[in-house]
Structures are given as C-alpha cells and as structure tokens.
Chain A
C-alpha cells in the first residue's frame, strides 16, 4: 500500500482562554492507516481531532492536507475535504429513520422517500452492514448507530474517519463487529483515527499509536514498538500508575460501619430496575457500571433528584427510617448529597466566584441560616475550604469557570461537603481532572470514609474503582448484579459482570 502523508499537523497549538489544550503537537496521519490516539482525560486527544474535523481551529501552527495548508472553519468544510468525525455522543437524528439519516443534508426540494430507502439499502448491503434502513435510529443499539455513522461518512467519500471513544458503549460482541468494520475501512484505503482508553484495543487494531499527555505529544510510533507497559508509562509520565492506582493494596480494607442506607427493590421507569444494595458508614462503596447501566440514575433517585416509580418503586431507608424525596432539598437536609458527573451542567455557578459557589451551597442546606448574608462568613468559608481541598486559584474571587478541571471539581466537592453530609455519592469524581488532582481527590475520599461518612463512588474507570473501594458493586442493565471484596476483584471479573 502506498503510504503518503495525508494529514500533517505542524507545532499545532490550541488555547482556550489562554490555557493550552494542545501544545506544539507534530502529528502525522498516513493514508490508509489505523491510528490510535491515546492519553488520559484532558490530554488533548479530543481537541486535536476536533481541529482536524473543523469543529474548532488552531490558535498557532498549521495543518496540511495532502501537503497543502488548510484551515477548516466548519465540520462541513472538513467533510467536503474528506475528513469526517464520529462524535462520542452520536450526531444522528433519533426520530428519523436510518435512510433519512444517511441522506441528511442532501435532501432534494421534493424528497422522494422511496428512492432514498432503496439506495440506502443498496448502500448498506455494499458495506455488509446489517441495518434496516426503515428503522428509526432511536430504536437501534449503539453498534448499529455507529454503523450508520460510518456509512454516512463513507458515503460522503471521507478519506479520514475520526472516532472519539467508539468502543466505550459497546458490548464485546459489538466491539468485534466494530473492529471488523475498521479493517474493512482500511482495505478501502480510508484512514482511521480513533481515540480510546482501552489499550488492548489500540494494540490489537492500530497500525500506529500516538500518546498525548497534558496537551503535548509524548510518543508516536508504529504499533510493534509498543506494549501495554510502555503505553501506560507514556500516558502517565512515570513507570506505571502505581502510586496513583495501586496504593490501596497496602493499607487494610476498612470494615463496614453502621448500615446507613439500605435500598430495596428500587425502580425508576426502565432505567433502574428493582435494584437492592446497602451502604455502610466509614467505608467507600464503589459502584462500577458502563454508561447507561443505571448507576447514575439510582444515585440520583436516592438523593431526590429523580423520583422513583410511584407504584412498586421499592424502598429506601436512611438510618432505618423509610425515605421518599420529591426534590433534592429534603435529601440534602437529611444529609444525602450527590456530587455530579457533569459539573458544568449541574455542579457549579459559572458566573460566580469560588467563595459564592461554596456559600450558596451552605445557604441551600441551611448551614448558614441567617436571613442576611454575612460577607465575612462567605470569606471565611472560602478560605477554609480552599485550604482544606487545596483549591488552587489566584484568589477566592476567581470565577469557577476560569479554573482547571481539577480545581473546578474540588469546588463542586466543597459545595457538597459544606452541607455536612452523612452519605455522599461521587459520580465519576475524577472525570476531566488532571493527574495531580486525581490523587488528591482520591485521598480526600479516603479521608471522608475514615471520618465515618458513608461514601459511594460511581465510576466507569476500573483502576479507580479497584483502588478506592472497600466493597465493589457492579451495576448492569439497571440493577446491582454482583458484589466483590477488593481481595477477589480483578479487572476481568468486574468487567465480565458488568457486560454480561
């Protein structure tokens, strides 16, 4: 196969508000290769690919396509130059059929539906995709949605298809199918870039691997130069992530304290199905589950954000008293708080300072109950918590939106801790958080458990769950299906329970 440089990035730099997400990266994509892009959360993988796909533009440096310098202002422009991106959250229209999605944006003035179904079917067959063109996209599984996205990209004569974490939501069966698709694409001469967290996948399918760390390119080489050890080392910048993810092995597992929360047959529509578990004080209960397994929803039901089913909704007991919340307010007052996985959407106030953010949460929980606001109290509270959680900002008047992901997360955690919780749910506590802050947050979670608080950590990142938990619950299809002690938990066993 001829190998010419298809896309070349020269000292590519992208800054958001003066913070570099990508720093002086030299990246090359050869034609007809499968290129894996690896790195931790926030390493700049998504940003780099978004630049190629025209979602965002370079601040400095240049991008060459076939040796010509190009700048894509829109995804449409990138697409017409043959660069397509399949996003993490799919960009299909759920209420339309497969065929309509396939031809989206190419409708003629008088759109003949029959015609597009026939050509959609022919096209899908030519790709060997088993997807019914008449089916509504909303009814498809994750893998089939991906097939539609790929088909759309191929139909638009894409020479480069970029996948952002394509396998995160797939079952092993679907994954195999997906890899077959990628091999098929390569045979057609299409270059593929895929972002992944799964190192084995990258090793098995990629021709070349590039590792990014903190926005910089660490290493880029053909796949035979890599093994798991070497990738991890490149990703975290030190030999294995030992002190990050395996420190727990040494200290003893905390024994369960008092049973604080007991959940019996909890149900909420079709997302949480008849699930039961208990949470004990003084230890960390880890809940592992893939996206869509109902773990977040179960936590939100318990903390009053969602309502459980009115009939047969099950029973939740806090300190042996049955509870049923219609809003989060009584839950917070009873000491159940939820630290969100999506801090930007429902975690903090972006136009407010750190101090105001923390104080607002204290007011909401009636921790500071006077009608008039005391500005000295706001200041003291901010000083106390920025020190306790080591929130790094120029001063406590800095707006939260200007902080790094790790510091934002610490503010969100401080907002919950100031409410003096008895039970605290951390949903993906280290998502989009830099490496340094991850260990700080893990340390904090351990400290909270030692203080006797019932801590629940929800995560879809196995090493995190294995490191931090004193008990591991596995959630699949809306219910807790298995419980492990740290001694008998292995990554394989947990994953097996989560997907089968």
Chain B
C-alpha cells in the first residue's frame, strides 16, 4: 500500500501526464474508429491549440504565484472590439492595434490591483472579469456574435492557412510556446517570475522589482489572450462573446494544472503546458468521437480538474513542515 503510493508519487507529474496520454492514445487508437487518422489527429491538435495558447499566458501568471480569471473575457472583448471597429470602416491594422492596446491595458489594471492595491489575484481577476464583460457588452461590441466580413488582408492566414499540412493555429501555438520558453528560461525577467512564485518575500527582500514584474506578468497574459482571440477569430471568421460567460477559463486552468504547473507557484515550465494541452486534446477528441454529449463532457472535465488539483496539492504541498507532519 505504502510502497505503491510512494511509487506513484516518485513519478513527477510531467511523466505521469505523458504516461496517461500514451495510454489514452493507444486505447483510443485500438477502440475508436477514425481516431488514428492523420486528419483526425491534426484536427485534434487544431481544436486545442487556442486553449494551449491561452494556457501559456496562464502558465506565466501561475508560475509567478498568481491566477488570471479574466483571460477569456479579455480575449473576446478585445478582439470583438477590434472587429466591431473594423466593421465600422476602420483600417484593420489600426483596429487590431487598438484591440491589442485595450487587452494590455486590462492586463495592466489586473496587475495594478494585485501588486499595488494588494488584492489577492483570484478575487481581483474574478471581479475584473465581470467588469470587462459588462463594459464589453455595454460599450465595446454591438452584438453577441461579431461576424468578420470584408478583407482582413494577411491576417486571414493566421487562422486558415497551413504549412506542410500542419494547420496555422497549431504552428502558432508552437511558435508562442518557443517564445515563452525562451522568455521564462533564458531571460532575467523569466528568472524573476520563478523567483517571485517560489518566495515573494525573499524576492522582495533581495531587491527584485516585484510590483512592476506583477504588472508585466498580467499584461503579458492579456497580450497572449488577445493573440489567441485573433487566431480564433480568423479560424471561425467571427468572435463569439458568449464565450466570456462559458466555463472556458476553467479549461485553461485545467490544462495548466494537469500539465504539472503547481498552483503554489515557482514550478513547471512551458513543456508542462504542451503535455497538458495534448492530454486534454486527446481526451476531448476521444469523447467527441464516442458521441459523449456536451454536458457529460463538462462533468468529465470538471472531475479531472478536481483530481488534478488534488494531485497538485499532494505533489506541491503548501509548506514543507505541514507536509511532513500533516495538518495539526
């Protein structure tokens, strides 16, 4: 009993995720008709690449011991505003630039509330998500669904194109992954993100600019959300603002947590995001082929999120001392 538990715990979470993914992949390939086909596997990747991109933004924030619940709201209302302006006759580049600036501004406000007003990240971004949605519906977009008609120039290729049969969104997911990997692992700012996530007090005492860094982190997450929104808009030729009230933000957290980025901060890397994305993609694709209906899929996803968080708190306990002794 004990040795079994130790054996499981001795695997790190990334290895577990890869093992589970492999098992699922083999199972689905054997059991499900039409799973093991190039076209299906590519559409599998395409369907989760937006989620994967969003998860990269979330990962940066979570590694810095935060969480950003505004990502989906920022995504749909910044791009929604851009395309509303575009529909009103504005030049597409200008419209997108304004949307991008709006997204970064939302992120900066999140960061300001968390770093300077010192509101816990989960409450600040929860409130900001409703503020952004409300403001968006009231002032930024005219209808729930903004259809993109007219020529958006080369931006169209962000959603539709493919290179060597690999769809553009998948490629962009990989490109953004690479950029994020370099930023986190090879730059001083990335080093600061890990440091702040591991021990904010020690970081502050040793003279790191933790407040500006926090603002930067949330601004980046919003920037990534804008990019994801743009790619999604180009894929489906519309922006669906109803997503802001969906459970999508929990899917992002699911990908991040299941990939093995500890919610306690300071741990994990972009590799974890990729493996988490692949696992969730496999799962959703398999469930879709099996014709599991949408609400049942939601239940399964939510149960997996719960399980992932339990595993996370076992693997990354809040405190060394309490983990050794059990809570008193």
Contact = CB atoms under 8 A, between A and B. Distances in A.
Interface of A: 16, 55-56, 74-75, 303, 305, 327-329, 331-333, 337-338, 340, 344-352, 356, 359-361, 363-365, 370-373, 401, 415-416, 419
Interface in B198-222: 198-199, 201-209, 211
A56 B188 CA distance: 41
B266 A345 contact: no
B320 A305 contact: no
Contact of B205 (A74, A305, A359): A305
25 contacts: A16-B324, A74-B328, A305-B204, A327-B204, A337-B206, A340-B205, A346-B205, A347-B202, A348-B199, A348-B202, A349-B198, A349-B266, A350-B199, A351-B266, A352-B198, A352-B266, A360-B203, A363-B191, A364-B207, A372-B186, A372-B188, A373-B185, A373-B191, A401-B320, A419-B206
A363 B188 CA distance: 7
B73 interface: no
Nearest to A352: B198
B188 A373 contact: yes
A56 B322 CA distance: 10
Contacts of B195: 349, 352, 360, 364
Given A349-B266, A350-B320, A329 B202 contact: no
B187 interface: yes
Contacts of A331: 207
Interface residues of B, number: 28
B313 to A, nearest CB: 15
A126 B244 CA distance: 65
Contacts of B267: 351
Contacts of B205: 303, 305, 328, 338, 340, 346-347
Interface string B33-65: 000000000000000000000000000000000
Nearest to A74: B328
Interface string B211-236: 10000000000000000000000000
A64 to B, nearest CB: 22
B269 to A, nearest CB: 12
B192 interface: yes
Nearest to A340: B205
Nearest to A54: B328
A479 B223 CA distance: 50
Given A345-B201, A351-B198, A364 B325 contact: no
A353 to B, nearest CB: 12
B48 to A, nearest CB: 29
Given A305-B204, A415-B206, A55 B188 contact: no
A415 B199 CA distance: 14
A361 B204 contact: no
A329 B191 contact: no
Contact of A332 (B206, B266, B320): B206
A260 B266 CA distance: 37
Interface in B234-289: 266-267
Given A346-B199, A351-B266, A372 B187 contact: yes
Contacts of B203: 360, 364
Contacts of B185: 373
A327 B201 CA distance: 11
A325 B188 CA distance: 24
B325 A328 contact: no
Given A348-B199, A365-B206, A371-B187, 16 more contacts: A56-B324, A75-B328, A305-B204, A331-B207, A332-B206, A337-B206, A340-B202, A344-B320, A352-B266, A356-B191, A360-B203, A363-B192, A364-B207, A371-B188, A372-B186, A372-B188
